[in-house]
Amino acid sequence: MKLSDGVEWAIHCAMLLGALPAGATLSGKALAEFHGVAESYLLKHLKALAAAGILDSVTGPQGGYRLARPAERISLLDIVLAVEGDRPAFRCTEIRRRGPCALEDAAYPRPCGINTAMLKAEAAYRDALAREDLKSLSAGFAGTADPRFLALAQAWLSGNTRIPKS
């Protein structure tokens, strides 16, 4: 199964937003800059995350994006579904019923064994993604990241985080 680059970008952005103080935001431009990706393409995915209730999109001079709920309540599956949609990756088109050996419908067992196996595998994949939350991923990352990266990221966040005035 191949997921779009947007899934990776969305997960990284959500993890970065999870590091912000409560109520703070980062602009879409800043998120694109931090990750070195195209802003226009990233904004499409940030909007999808906001539509799915994963991010809040805040307007105004201190606006930008922030997590809409606690990081421990956002799974990788939530993000994948927001970016890719919820259609199954495998779609059986019943090619077994085509070609020179095609028979009447009654000759083919239902459901197709290949379709059943593929949907079972996808269910296991989705279950695994549902068990992975942003808070756990962030904790794992913080424990293994190069301290120089963490220092650079913290300095960058200090200059780019938007904190609403009370």
User: CA–CA separation, 72 vs 132, rounded Å?
Assistant: 9
pLDDT, position 80: 97
144 Rama sector, left if φ>0, alpha if ψ -120 to 50, beta otherwise? alpha
**Domains within the chain, CATH numbers bracketed:** 5-87+133-160 (1.10.10.10)
User: CA–CA separation, 124 vs 103, rounded Å?
Assistant: 33
DSSP secondary structure letter of residue 153: H
pLDDT, position 147: 95
Lowest mean pLDDT among 25-34, 105-114, 118-127: 105-114
Burial tier of 49 (Cβ tally within 10 Å: 0-12, 13-18, 19+): buried
Per-residue pLDDT tens digits for 14-43: 999 999 999 999 999 999 999 999 999 999
User: CA–CA separation, 164 vs 166, rounded Å?
Assistant: 6
Total number of residues shown for the chain: 166
Q: With a cut of 70, say whether residue 78 has pLDDT above it.
A: yes
- At residue 58, what is the residue type? V
Strand partners, 67: 55
Q: What is the largest CA-CA distance in the chain?
A: 73
pLDDT, position 49: 98
Q: With a cut of 70, say whether residue 166 has pLDDT above it.
A: no
Per-residue pLDDT tens digits for 130-161: 999 999 999 999 999 999 999 999 999 999 99
